[in-house]
Amino acid sequence: MARYVGQRVKRTEDPRLIKGLAHYVDDIRLPDTLHVAFVRSIYAHARINGVDAGEALKAPGVVAIFTGKDVSEKIGPVPCASALPELKVPDHRVLATDKVYFVGHPIAAVVAADAYAARDAAELLMIDYEELPAVVNAEEAAQGGAVIHEQFGSNVAYKLTAGEGDIVAALASADRRIKQRIINQRLAPVAMEPRGVLARYLPGEQELTVWSSTQIPHLLRTQLALMIGIPENKLRVITPEVGGGFGSKLNVYAEEALLGWISMQLGRPAKWIETRRENMQATIHGRGQVGEIEIGCKADGTVTGLRYNVVADLGAYHQLLTPAIPTLTGLMLSGAYKIPAIQINVTGVFTNKMATDAYRGAGRPEATYVVERAIDLVAAELGLDPVAVRRRNFPAPEEFPFKTATGLFYDSGNYEGALAKALENAGYERLREEQRAAREQGRIVGIGVSTYVEICALGPSQAMPAGGWESATVRIEPTGTVTVLTGASPHGQGQETSFAQLAADELGVDMGDVTVVHGDTAIVQYGIGTFGSRATAVGGTAVFVAIEKLKEKASKIAAHMLGTDAVNVVFAEGVFSIKETKKAAAAAGDGKAADADSDEVPEPVVPVGEGPAGALPEPETEGRKKVSIQEVALAAHLARELPPDTEPGLSATYFFEPKNFTFPFGTHIAVVEIDRETGEVKFQRYVAVDDCGRVINPMLVDGQVQGGIVQSIGQALYEEVVYDEQGQLITGTLMDYAVPRAKMIPWFELDRTETPTDVNPLGVKGVGEAGTIGATPAIVNAVVDALSPFGVRHIDMPIRPEAVWRIINSSDE
């Protein structure tokens, strides 16, 4: 019975966080800790003719300085986990050796007694650079000119074509064909906690512990073990509190390996906390796609085919998933529509910039933006309502599981359901009338719709570079409290709460008796981590199935305690009882005893000072018809009277392998008004209906959606990583990189539909990225709609007031 699941339960992680008592990496203090500062390239592309550390070494407090020459033979390359055919993979050393490839490329690590001394000394390092021509524009880089990695002969890292259906015929058969150049600009994830690493090597034990602000503790452990050359079972990775990731910490970074290695060299703990400037320069960026779409349609709006030719700006090196991100874009190009032929042609290109990689949505926001803009272009071309064009191309609910021309099977969906609800909540017809009236008054008002579908619960292992399952261990301790160990690595998503809700309901215990543990490879069984909206759908399912296994064992022990067979025992609300059948009643003894047994379950036996100190007395079960799960747990640990062939203890582990992704969907509607004088875009309404399957905690789901939409608003209106022609990072601080602030955000009117999925027994689909995927095109569509009287069909992101102002002021409507 659901006592907690489905409720707006307050988070159990909050008390420590709101009191300032939680521990992020930088809050962990170990005696004797050394502090590391990195010297990073000030050029986008240069040869290093020499590094002179002489002065720096003499600076007060300096303990050691390591350069590329010192470490490149000792520490293995920074890994790239994606394997595409004929992918060019440059050798990515943890420190630059003879060349630097992007502003922020680490050249040397300065180790000192405190962080101030380390930073001071880093200033003293003399680096002899010989500047080389920087390759900044990805489209030009694909054509020729200076080559970054000379061994490859060009800047093209890979080319890939994907999709099904005869795209040429599909476009040829169309009544109309529309082309549009389309840009998903580079973005910076900007987790509020920058990255940070603390490493401690214990020479006696030969054990290395690495505390890192990461989303993937176990995968990181495996990779670091390989890079540093320490046995994996001597390496422990701990992720303490993590201050946001959004994909930027779904990676293996040079600094993580270096800190571990430095601690091993010097025999003291070593810490590095990224500055915000370093974070902007040397933590992965996202998006960075420049492409052209071509969409064909019939006169009634039916889409016949979609082609997307795209240049992906990969940056100088591949981080963990860099080349794979555009392939996710390719997979999601069908959007929420039946499109018979789809083709994506990707050219992945090296540039003298930081690597792009998974930023919230990771390839899917790009796809959704492409598709949702394309549908609006069709509507504009044909003079149809964008909602009507969407409806014309939706698959019907009975067509699921639905196969796309990109090779996916959408598990379940009711796109019309979410759309209809959103239109109703927004009052779409009335909005259109108001828009007409506003236009007559000379106001510039637009309504944008996006009916997105996303791919979540990553994912089946077949489709993943390093396992797509997730793990859980659930155990009931002798005193009856419940411990859940999850392989997922929550960092704000709230699974300490939602998994406790789930476990408490399934076990019939109080939530307060459940603790969810994660992020320590020495405590938790191997897990994959938190990314790709997978933690609840895949990790939560692992918890659920582990509990099923645990209950199965508990019910055998309970039956034994009650003197019957497991088949006669039922479990409800934390209590095993004998089924009220004649046979069971007979098996349990005479009817009188059964009658005498009250419905009340005795309090779990609390150990008292009988017998030897601390000895736990066996629960009294003579003649009873019920035992609580806590009593069973105690009996399982005492193991004095277990059924034959039963392992003592009460714990179960499960590794859940999903059979498919899930495909959550929804409709987002943005209503904007543009200030004629300034070109500024202002929100009037924002309405969203999301369908992420079954919801464990609606409050957490709302939080995920809201946070996601705001990152979308950032992409649509404000954010862009800008490098100048020399490859200098212009947006290197939070002054120049415009993360949305509270004032820039409208009030969100959120709602849900709930279409179950059978991909996992929980019916949960995932929601971490929905907002970031669904919202961007809704906002841009709204702005384009507002500007359509000026002849505008498309406008590039981020939509700056200046560009809008120019449109308004250079046209005569």
Partner 1 sequence: MKKAVQINVNGTTRETEVEPRLLLVHYLRDVLGLTGTHVGCETSLCGACTVTVDGQAVKSCTMFAVQADGSNITTIEGLAHDGELHPVQEGFWERHGLQCGYCTPGMIMAAAQLLERNHAPTREEIRHGLEGNLCRCTGYQHIVEAVEYASKAVNREP
Identified binder of partner 1 from the candidate list 7, 22, 226, 517, rule CB under 8 A:
22
Torsion of CA 67, 68, 70, 71, to 10 degrees: 120
Q: Does 494 participate in binding partner 1 (rule CB under 8 A)?
A: yes
Give the per-residue SS3 of 28-92.
CCCCCCEEEEEEECCCCCEEEEEEECHHHHHCCCEEEEEEHHHHCCCCCCCCCCCCCCCCCCCCC
Task: Measure Cα distances from 319 to 82, 211, 263, 523, 675 in Å.
Answer: 9, 20, 24, 28, 42
Give me the sign of the Cα torsion angle 262, 266, 269, 275: negative
CB of 276 to ligand FES, least distance (A): 7
Closer CB to partner 1, 88 or 360, in the complex = 360
Q: Does 244 participate in binding ligand FES (rule CB under 6 A)?
A: yes
Q: E strand or H helix at 235, and its extent?
A: strand 235-238
CB of 747 to partner 1, least distance (A): 7
Spatial neighbors of 143 by CB under 8 A, at least 6 apart, are: none
Restricting to residues 453-512, which ones interact with ligand FES according to CB under 6 A? 492
Closer CB to partner 1, 67 or 711, in the complex = 711
Closer CB to ligand FES, 239 or 368, in the complex = 239
Restricting to residues 246-305, which ones interact with partner 1 according to CB under 8 A? 246, 273, 275-276
Closer CB to ligand FES, 174 or 190, in the complex = 190
Pairing of strands 681-691, 748-752: parallel
Identified binder of partner 1 from the candidate list 100, 174, 190, 485, rule CB under 8 A:
190
Q: Does 139 participate in binding partner 1 (rule CB under 8 A)?
A: no
Identified binder of partner 1 from the candidate list 2, 17, 523, 596, rule CB under 8 A:
17
Q: Does 19 participate in binding partner 1 (rule CB under 8 A)?
A: yes
Q: Does 24 participate in binding partner 1 (rule CB under 8 A)?
A: yes
Residue in this structure with the two tokens 């390591």, named with its chain if needed = 66
Q: Which does 494 bind (CB under 5 to 8 A by kind): ligand FES, partner 1, none?
A: partner 1
DSSP 541: H
- The span from the CA of 297 to the CA of 809, in Å, is 33
Residue 658 phi/psi, 5° resolution? -75, 150
Residue in this structure with the two tokens 């998903």, named with its chain if needed = 184
Q: Does 192 participate in binding ligand FES (rule CB under 6 A)?
A: yes
Task: List the strands of the sheet with 176-187, edge to edge.
Answer: 156-162, 341-350, 303-315, 286-297, 176-187
Residue 539 phi/psi, 5° resolution? -70, -40
Identified binder of partner 1 from the candidate list 77, 427, 703, 798, rule CB under 8 A:
703
Q: Which does 586 bind (CB under 5 to 8 A by kind): partner 1, ligand FES, none?
A: none
CB of 478 to partner 1, least distance (A): 30
Q: Does 31 participate in binding partner 1 (rule CB under 8 A)?
A: no
Q: Which does 11 bind (CB under 5 to 8 A by kind): ligand FES, partner 1, none?
A: partner 1
The answer to whether 200 and 263 are in contact (CB under 8 A) is yes
- The span from the CA of 640 to the CA of 648, in Å, is 9
Q: Does 243 participate in binding partner 1 (rule CB under 8 A)?
A: yes
- The span from the CA of 803 to the CA of 265, in Å, is 54
Closer CB to partner 1, 275 or 525, in the complex = 275
CB of 457 to partner 1, least distance (A): 20
CB of 697 to ligand FES, least distance (A): 16
Nearest to 779 by CA among 377, 293, 449: 449
CB of 737 to partner 1, least distance (A): 10
CB of 728 to ligand FES, least distance (A): 23
The answer to whether 672 and 400 are in contact (CB under 8 A) is no
Q: Does 702 participate in binding partner 1 (rule CB under 8 A)?
A: yes
Closer CB to ligand FES, 327 or 772, in the complex = 772
Task: Measure Cα distances from 305 to 178, 342, 370, 450, 793 in Å.
Answer: 11, 6, 13, 19, 20
The token duo for 176 is 């109309």
DSSP conformation letters of 84-148: -TT-------SS-SSEE-STT-EEEEEEESSHHHHHHHHHH-EEEEEE------HHHHHH-SS-S
Closer CB to ligand FES, 77 or 244, in the complex = 244
Q: Which of 235-243, 458-466, 530-538, 665-673 is the region at the interface with partner 1 (rule: CB under 8 A)?
A: 235-243
Q: Does 23 participate in binding partner 1 (rule CB under 8 A)?
A: yes
Restricting to residues 100-129, which ones interact with partner 1 according to CB under 8 A? 116
Identified binder of partner 1 from the candidate list 521, 541, 711, 753, rule CB under 8 A:
711
CB of 297 to partner 1, least distance (A): 35
Q: Does 615 participate in binding ligand FES (rule CB under 6 A)?
A: no
- The span from the CA of 454 to the CA of 332, in Å, is 7
Closer CB to partner 1, 13 or 506, in the complex = 13
Q: Does 700 participate in binding partner 1 (rule CB under 8 A)?
A: yes
Closer CB to partner 1, 19 or 592, in the complex = 19
CB of 501 to partner 1, least distance (A): 14
Closer CB to ligand FES, 192 or 730, in the complex = 192
Closer CB to ligand FES, 104 or 492, in the complex = 492
- Residue 731, SS3? coil
DSSP 215: S
Restricting to residues 744-803, which ones interact with partner 1 according to CB under 8 A? 745, 747-748, 771
- The span from the CA of 614 to the CA of 610, in Å, is 8
Q: Does 191 participate in binding partner 1 (rule CB under 8 A)?
A: yes
The token duo for 306 is 């979609």
- The span from the CA of 539 to the CA of 516, in Å, is 12
Q: Which does 572 bind (CB under 5 to 8 A by kind): ligand FES, partner 1, none?
A: none
Maximum alpha-carbon separation in the chain: 96
Q: Which of 50-58, 240-248, 319-327, 420-428 is the region at the interface with partner 1 (rule: CB under 8 A)?
A: 240-248
Q: State the residues that interact with ligand FES by CB under 6 A.
A: 192, 244, 492
Q: State the residues that interact with partner 1 by CB under 8 A.
A: 10-11, 13-15, 17-24, 26-27, 29, 116, 190-194, 241-244, 246, 273, 275-276, 491-494, 699-700, 702-703, 706-711, 733-735, 739, 741-743, 745, 747-748, 771
